[in-house]
Amino acid sequence: MSLGRMLRRIPAAQARTVRLAWSVDRWMVLAVLGCQLAAGAGTAVTLAAVARSMEVLFGAGDPARTVREAAPALLVAAAATGAGAGARLVAEWATRRLNPKIAGAMELTLVDLHMRAELDAFDDPGFTDRSRAAETGVGRAMALTEDAKALTEGVVQLAVAASVLTVLHPLLLAVLALSVVPRAVGGAVAARIDHQVFEASASARTTRDVMRWFLTTPDLADELRANTMRPYLYRWYQGMCERVEGRALAAAPRFLRVGVVAAVLGGVCTAGLWATLAGLVLTGRMPAATAGAAVVAAQGAGRALGNLVRYGAALFHDGLYLDGYHRFVADAGSAGAPGRWRPARDPAGGGRLHPPGRRAAHPRPPLPDASAR
């Protein structure tokens, strides 16, 4: 998967998550989006009030008088900060109401599609594989909504901080944009490596999970001991664990290289931001008070950027697993329609069923009459 395609998948996964949440509870979706916009507006008002108060505080005059003159702006900044925090709490509340509804709706859809599918479809490997992938996607649904909310909040906060920096001086926006790219790309590449590790260890992990059930279930405990199978089965289980662990350890150097490159490039660009700000102040192109407001905005942009990279990578990663759920839904049909996973019989007369458009590899003759005499 190319880097450009990876980056395009993030907004696609975001839009798909919003549509899924909208189909479940649109009022909670509107509440989350509205509260995030309100929190962004609160941040903008806070930065503007801080800039105004710094102009007063850095001005000449009696210190007591300047503090009194700056007090209204500081009170506005405090009120806006509190309002933004309240809006974030409401958004968190709405998200927690959405999460179980989304997970429940996906669970019901998955079960309903299985019940509507043709009986012989369960013998088809393609149906089983996609069913398991869909189950994994359902398990990631709640994490995906949290990622989408956090990503949207990061975008809003970064947009507000970038707007403030643009008003203070357009050059600061260009330097801020340069600092965004390395960390964003690094996060996406790290998420891709993580998914590759997951896919590479899928078979070993599945075998390990099945073996864990056989080794720990009370139903087979007596046979395990009577047949003295413990040493052999334990070595087998240990081998599966080592295989999964080995895949993860083999990818660790790649994670390190990506992290180091992204951190170095991001650090250089961030240092350029501070150097640009210092240069503007020293050359007299920006007042010291305005530079103080720019520092606050740049720090807010840095925090927003961190959330954007972190949750953007998480959204990309979880979105890959959710694709399995959507592929299964597309093949088997929606929850409100009859099951569309209707494997067709082989035209040559074989009795094995297979998905539409796929021919059976080894057609089998129909079973003979097995009625009781």
Alpha helices in 140-229 (DSSP H): 141-168, 170-200, 202-216, 221-226
Distance CA 43, CA 47 (A): 6
pLDDT score recorded for residue 141:
77
- Answer for the pair 331, 143: CB distance below 8 angstroms, yes or no: no
pLDDT score recorded for residue 357:
44
- Answer for the pair 288, 60: CB distance below 8 angstroms, yes or no: no
End-to-end CA distance of the chain: 60
pLDDT at 267 over 80: yes
Helix (H) or strand (E) holding 169: none
DSSP annotation string for 164-185 = HHHHH-HHHHHHHHHHHHHHHH
pLDDT at 338 over 80: no
pLDDT tens sequence across 161-182: 888 878 877 777 777 777 777 8
Residue 171 to residues 157, 160, 178, 181, Cα–Cα distance (Å): 19, 16, 11, 16
Least confident of 97-111, 122-136, 338-352: 338-352
In sequence order, the β-bridge partners of residue 344 are 354
The model's confidence at residue 1, banded by pLDDT at 50, 70 and 90, is low
pLDDT score recorded for residue 320:
74
pLDDT score recorded for residue 59:
67
pTM score over 0.85: no
pLDDT score recorded for residue 12:
81
pLDDT at 86 over 70: yes
pLDDT score recorded for residue 90:
92
In sequence order, the β-bridge partners of residue 353 are 345
pLDDT tens sequence across 208-227: 888 888 888 888 788 777 77
pLDDT score recorded for residue 60:
63
pLDDT score recorded for residue 143:
79
pLDDT at 253 over 70: yes
pLDDT score recorded for residue 350:
40
Give the mean pLDDT of 192-200.
79
In sequence order, the β-bridge partners of residue 354 are 344
Helix (H) or strand (E) holding 353: strand 353-354
Give the mean pLDDT of 9-23.
83
Helix (H) or strand (E) holding 265: helix 230-282
pLDDT tens sequence across 27-73: 988 999 999 899 888 888 888 888 788 777 776 667 677 777 778 88
Cβ neighbours for 201, distance < 8 A, ≥ 6 positions apart: 243, 244, 247, 248
Distance CA 96, CA 145 (A): 9
Distance CA 222, CA 247 (A): 34
pLDDT score recorded for residue 30:
92
Give the mean pLDDT of 2-24.
78
pLDDT score recorded for residue 179:
73
| Both tokens assigned to 235 | 């070595």
Residue for token digits 């020293």?
A: 282
Q: Give the residue among 75, 77, 86 at the shortest CA–CA distance from 36.
A: 86
Distance CA 125, CA 361 (A): 12
pLDDT score recorded for residue 2:
58
Give the mean pLDDT of 124-139.
74
Cβ neighbours for 148, distance < 8 A, ≥ 6 positions apart: 13, 14, 17, 18, 21, 315
pLDDT at 242 over 80: yes
pLDDT score recorded for residue 89:
92
Give the mean pLDDT of 124-140.
75
Q: Rg of the Cα trace of the chain? A: 28
